Structure 1
């Protein structure tokens, strides 16, 4: 599991823009939608959408070769990740179908990292399938490792963002203090007035 800080800038249809660190690559994919409770949140419609997300994610995988078949494959993996995250946050076992989908994606060879100018980058001609393998392998590490107990859903009633609580005390409640955390503080402050 990649633990480096990698804050995504999320832009909601409501106009809200804020930074969000999911704490894990596999949970970043959940920010692209696919939640049955919130139809219309899909962000990955085309290969170009997927390529753009791969470049912005903590993979920083610019220039990945993405084919039309990679979009539904990404949707399948993301659905399995939603099922796994929902199970873990509600204290249930991860469904076998989700496990099978994650394991199948993880079986592909991941992208090859290379060191260039003192930074990690990726070998030329990396495919979306390899990127999905990296995401699935991150999920195997997260859901099968010690941080599984620290997977949380944002405590705001109208927010479904999921993250790994990497804070030292393990008490992170909000997807982002600048979004849900501040709104909760404002509601509390106005409630006391």
Structure 2
């Protein structure tokens, strides 16, 4: 990702499904929309943790469904991060996408994971939705968080061993918040 100042930093949300959230979102987050055409979703998939060997064709309809799924995931993740009840319409959107056939994984000759050719946007969305089901019903469900910085709303799952991750990225929000706290302590003295 890139900060407002233009500095690149690494943001790992901890789950494939959460990688989709910074591409835009509902309400005020729509201003961050980057999925304008099918090629944008394909480019996102190639930058995601699915990257290797994914040949993907996405239709306009699948792009619209991707934005709908992303918005539902965004709201579900925010609700989980803040301890709120998960809303049935958002759960329904995830469950509907998860019911479709997912991407088909394969083992490449070099022993790495690759994907069966001819993948569709629907298969991509199913894979993302199934990852969300695993996240929200698995051992890390209680570790879904929103960045602790006062001006950041990035959502992530804390997969660290101690389970104390507070910021989207230590080198970005973590450093800024620690510097802010240090200045506040010095001013108070």
Residue in structure 1 matched with residue 77 of structure 2 by the alignment: 85
- 1:35-184 correspondence runs (5 A): 35-60=26-51, 62-116=54-108, 117-184=110-177
Aligned residue for 2:160, secondary structure, equals coil
Per the TM alignment, residue 192 of structure 1 is displaced from its structure 2 partner at its CA by 3.1
Contact 1:85 1:162 in 2 (8 A): yes
How many residues end up aligned between the 2 structures? 184
Q: 1:85 to 1:183 in 2, by over 3 A?
A: same
User: 1:35 touches 1:41 (CA, 8 Å); kept in 2?
Assistant: no
1:59-103 Cα offsets, whole Å, 9 max, x none, are: 116331111111110011011101211211121221000111101
- By percentage of residues, which structure has more helix? 2
Q: Which consecutive aligned stretches of 4+ in structure 1 deviate over 6 angstroms post-superposition? A: none
TM-score, normalised to structure 1, is: 0.90
Q: 2: distance between equivalents of 1:186 and 1:84? A: 32
How much does 1:39 deviate?
A: 3.8
Residues 120-179 of structure 1: per-residue CA shift (max 9 Å, x gap): 010111111101100000011111222110000000111111111111111100000111
More deviation, 61-70/173-182 = 61-70
Query: How big is the shift at 1:33?
Result: 1.2
Residue of structure 2 equivalent to 1:6: none
Question: By how many angstroms is 1:34 displaced?
Answer: 1.2
Q: Give the aligned CA root-mean-square deviation in angstroms.
A: 1.4
CA distance in 2, matches of 1:156, 1:13: 14
